[in-house]
Amino acid sequence: MTVTIVGSQLGDEGKGALVDLWGGGADVVARYQGGDNAGHTVVEDGDEYKLSLVPSGAVRDKIGVLGNGCVINLKTLFSEIDDLRERGLTPDVRVARRAHVIMPYHRVLDGIEEDAKSDSDLEAGTTGRGIGPTYEDKVGRRGVRVGDLLDPSVLRDRLEYVVPQKRALAENIFGVDTSEAFDVESLFSEYRQLGKRLTEEDMTVNAGEFLNEHLNHDSTILFEGAQGTSIDIDHGIYPYVTSSNPTAGGAATGTGISPTVIGQGEVVGIIKAYLSRVGTGPLPTELTGTDEALADHIREKGGEFGTVTGRPRRIGWLDIPMLRHATRSNGFTGLVINHIDVLAGLDEVCVGHSYDLNGEEQFTIPATTERWAECEPNLRSFDPWDSVAWSDVATEGYEAIPANAQQYLEYLTNELDTPIYAIGVGPDRAETIELVNPFDIDA
Ligand code: IMP
């Protein structure tokens, strides 16, 4: 049995709380894409854990796996593991030997390239973690994989091939002085050490084999997507996207579990009741101009500042064409609607029900970002709901949700033709109303 958790929008939908809630029913929690660009905040009994790479399930004593589709910054990994240990936890994290390693030169090049793009408005507003350059090298067949760190001669061969190219790129194309991030010897000694720690702590696995073995022994796996559908490299708003596949198909290619197995399980789309966006690119339902004060209010109330970078997030009304696209491309079996508490107390709540594109009504997101930028949202207005004691609502259940908020939820489930499994009414795991636990559904 598998449950795959996917972001339906632009990331930051509050996936961490659900992974944490349902991760309790799983034996293994696996990430299938992305790296330390993901910011997952898990709140447990008032204790907050901010993780960017370690799967959230590790906070709850589950085996955490970083699949082959991830890109791994080993310094972040060890620092998060060490922090969790200092706080009294015993995280069990396994890393795919096929996963690619984010090297120091990838982070430097991420910054250099974003700077170079800024003149032409093409910068994606990346998290600066070297994610894109690492995936570029993976696809260019010049990457360094976790397995390479375990074998000194392979590691040396890889570095001797790739590092001079990276140095030439930085110096000759971008005109930037290079540092030891581009020096074969210092990289070799540092990454060999990291490889030795991986071996000493017995952390590396053949992910597909490891996970399949667990499934064969009736274990349950929760696949934890990072980022969201609209910043998927294939299905997102290219080029303002991340470089991996947060969509459900990525769970198969990014772990080595077959799509048929994943398709027999549950695929749950996490939706925030409004939009937030770190990074650049168009956003048809964005609250700007005369709506700026409203955006400020939602940003403050929802704590909409990047978990990884601290940047204030852009705010918009819920974008239903974006969600229709996400529901189709992921095949959601259930939905979670988060943060309805943040919209309480407004004068009116709107959604972008469809778009107007050159006089024609569009119900889904166009395939090119340029057309998307031309879309004007057709807003649909909902009666507002008051602020209530949300922790009481969480205890009392669905019927305690204000009636107007229930109408908003019913509109969503009908438009997307998918049942709601849970509703988030606050940041703590306990502030989630669970209607269906996907692990309780028989395949
Ligand atoms: P990168 O993943 O750092 O290369 O950034 C590419 C784009 O994805 C930028 O617009 C980032 O702001 C966005 N992004 C990356 N990770 C996240 C995330 O976890 N939440 C929201 N946006 C993200």
Residues 23, 62: contact at Cβ < 8 Å?
yes
| Consecutive H or E run containing 3 | strand 2-7
Ligand 1 probe mutation, 242, 272, 315, most atoms within 8 A of CB: 242
Residue closest via CA to ligand 1's atom 1 equals: 126
Residue closest via CA to ligand 1's atom 19 equals: 38
Catalytic residue status for 40: yes
pLDDT value of position 181: 96
Q: Is 12 in the pocket of ligand 1 (CB under 6 A)?
A: yes
Neighbour tally for 416: CB within 10 Å? 20
Q: What is the distance, to the nearest Å, from the Cα of residue 183 to the centroid of all Cα atoms in its chain?
A: 32
pLDDT value of position 412: 98
Contacts (Cβ under 8 Å, ≥6 apart) of 190: none
Q: How close is the Cα of 310 to the center of ligand 1, in Å?
A: 12
Q: Is 37 in the pocket of ligand 1 (CB under 6 A)?
A: yes
Neighbour tally for 243: CB within 10 Å? 23
Contacts (Cβ under 8 Å, ≥6 apart) of 309: 127, 128, 278
Closest CA to 182 of 109, 73, 101, 99: 109
Q: How close is the Cα of 111 to the center of ligand 1, in Å?
A: 14
d(CA 113, CA 119): 11
Q: Is 243 in the pocket of ligand 1 (CB under 6 A)?
A: yes
Residue closest via CA to ligand 1's atom 20 equals: 11
Q: What is the distance, to the nearest Å, from the Cα of residue 375 to the centroid of all Cα atoms in its chain?
A: 25
pLDDT value of position 230: 97
How far is residue 407 from each of residues 105, 398, 411, measured CA to CA in Å? 51, 12, 6
pLDDT value of position 45: 66
pLDDT value of position 84: 93
Q: Terminal CA-to-CA distance of the chain, rounded, Å?
A: 7
Closest CA to 19 of 37, 32, 36, 35: 32
Helix segments in 270-366, DSSP class H: 292-302, 320-330
Q: What is the pLDDT along the chain (443 residues), one digit of tens a residue?
A: 999 999 999 999 999 888 888 988 899 999 999 999 988 777 666 778 888 999 988 888 899 999 999 999 999 999 999 999 999 999 999 999 999 999 999 999 999 998 888 877 778 889 999 999 999 999 999 999 999 999 999 999 999 999 999 999 999 999 999 989 999 999 999 999 999 999 999 999 999 999 999 999 999 999 999 999 999 999 999 999 999 999 999 999 999 999 999 999 999 999 999 999 988 889 999 999 999 999 999 999 999 998 777 889 999 999 999 999 999 999 999 999 999 999 999 999 999 999 999 999 999 999 999 999 999 999 999 999 999 999 999 999 999 999 999 999 999 999 999 999 999 999 877 899 999 999 998 75
Q: Provide the whole-model pTM.
A: 0.96
Ligand 1 probe mutation, 231, 307, 313, most atoms within 8 A of CB: 231
Q: Is 134 in the pocket of ligand 1 (CB under 6 A)?
A: no
d(CA 144, CA 150): 11
Residues 341, 377: contact at Cβ < 8 Å?
no
Catalytic residue status for 339: no
